[in-house]
Amino acid sequence: MYNFEYQNPVKIIFGKGEIGKVGINIPEGSKIMLTFGGGSIFKNGVYDQVKAAIKGFEVVEFGGIEPNPHYETLMKAVKLVKSENITFLLSVGGGSVLDGTKFIAAAACFQNGDPWKILSHQAPVMDAIPIGAVLTLPATGSEMNGNSVVTRFETTEKLSFASQKVMPVFSILDPEVIFSLPDKQVANGVVDAFVHVIEQYLTFPVNSPIQDRFAESILITLVEEGPKVLANRNDYESAANLMWSATMALNGLIGVGVPQDWATHMIGHELTAYHGIDHARTLAIVLPGIMQVKREQKKDKIMQLGKRVWGIVEGNMDERIDKTILKTIDFFESVGLPTKLSDYGVSTKTIDLICKRFEERGFKIGEKANIGPKEIRLILENRL
């Protein structure tokens, strides 16, 4: 394995009824901005639980953070943070609300001009307002990492930044929040977490058995528990296992000392930016194309995935790789995510646009930095 550094100080508070602990985990005297999304927290009772738990604190509310949070919206929150002298951000929602809150936290302390540079130029984040999170949706892993993805609506750009400074101080994970989620959100979460693991796993071997087996542990658990949650939304045990899987999928642990890919995410982001397709659905579209186009480069790990996760042990190498790709597609489709561009009405015109954008950016992606416009065209044409 490669040399690495790893540090993850996020305090995880996990289990049913734990939302009541939010208040005792926020520093006394804090002035809180409570950030949230479209209002599902009013229907599922989470808002009431949180409000009861932070009684006594001064609280400003900022709702309406979109899925794929918009820079334009977040900058309004930044203005409010400054004018209200907010000292603590409490994100109550899923990954989009939390990603947006991370950007608010960093942008409010940014001293180096336009905060857009945090996203566009990866300008270093020197300081951030502390964040706490109450998670309402298992999917992105944002609750235990320093990553954030933000969309600029006016230019259809979806960009990310990462900083230890925006890691939540604490994250409360109560699996009961899953009980009221629609199928689509559960399924998206399962696939999002699945692909997070894949991006840190499906590259080339570097003799890292702990990382590999941990990754496979999460994949197997998602494959086993995801459908159970979809079949019975009140199965607490399966909900808990799904929620913990999604957190472990992207808290950095399985990615230490190994090559990483992230091409699926980077190409997927463009599909969201141009067509508003749910993030997880873009991953379900793109991943099989990457597995196909990069099957030679990734052959050892595709074979290992096939054997250890899908139980594929027969046939020659090419047959096993084919079966592994098919099994992966089948899994995505079985939980309700179509995997073809045509399923979403996306045509070759969009492929042209995406390739042009990568052409302009001038850098290549993937674990060997060899996926450029030409390869992206092949990947997306494979998914038409």
- Would you count residue 278 as binding its own copies (CB under 8 A)? no
With beta carbons less than 8 A apart as the criterion, state whether 222 and 193 touch.
yes
Q: Least distance in Å: CB of 139 to its own copies?
A: 16
Q: C-beta of 4: minimal distance to its own copies in Å?
A: 5
176 binds its own copies (CB under 8 A): no
Please say whether the beta carbons of 288 and 310 come within 8 A: no
Exactly one of 82, 213, 356, 361 binds its own copies (CB under 8 A); which one?
A: 213
CB 275 within 8 A of CB 370: no
162 contacts its own copies (rule: CB under 8 A): no
- Does 256 participate in binding its own copies (rule CB under 8 A)? yes
> Is 27 one of the binding residues for its own copies (CB under 8 A)?
no
Question: Which amino acid does the sequence have at 232?
Answer: N
257 sits near its own copies (criterion: CB under 8 A): yes
Indicate if the alpha-carbon torsion angle 18, 98, 30, 51 is positive or negative.
Answer: negative
Q: How far is the CB of 211 from its own copies (least distance, A)?
A: 8
Per DSSP (E only), the strands in 72-184 are 88-93, 131-135, 147-152, 157-162, 170-173
| C-alpha closest to that of 350 among 291, 286, 292, 280 | 286
**What is the bridge-based pairing of β-strands 58-62 and 131-135?**
unpaired
- Which one, 206 or 369, has the nearer CB to its own copies? 206
**209 is a site residue for its own copies (CB under 8 A):** yes
Stretch that binds its own copies, among 35-43, 202-210, 268-276, 353-361 (CB under 8 A): 202-210
- Of 40 and 221, which has the nearer Cβ to its own copies? 221
In the complex with its own copies, which residue's Cβ is closer, 2 or 363? 2
Residues contacting 206, CB < 8 A, separation 6+: 1, 2, 257, 258, 259
* 384 part of the interface to its own copies, by CB under 8 A: no
Distance separating alpha carbons of residues 237 and 32, to the nearest angstrom: 33
Residue 207 near residue 180 (C-beta atoms within 8 A): no
Site string for its own copies, 214-253 (x = CB under 8 A): x-xxx-xx--xx-----------x--xx--xx--x----x
Tokens of 327: 């099994």
Token match 């977490």: residue? 193
Is residue 210 within the footprint of its own copies (CB under 8 A)?
yes
272 binds its own copies (CB under 8 A): no
Q: How far is the CB of 249 from its own copies (least distance, A)?
A: 10
Interface with its own copies by CB under 8 A: which residues?
Answer: 1-18, 207-210, 213-214, 216-218, 220-221, 224-225, 237, 240-241, 244-245, 248, 253, 256-257
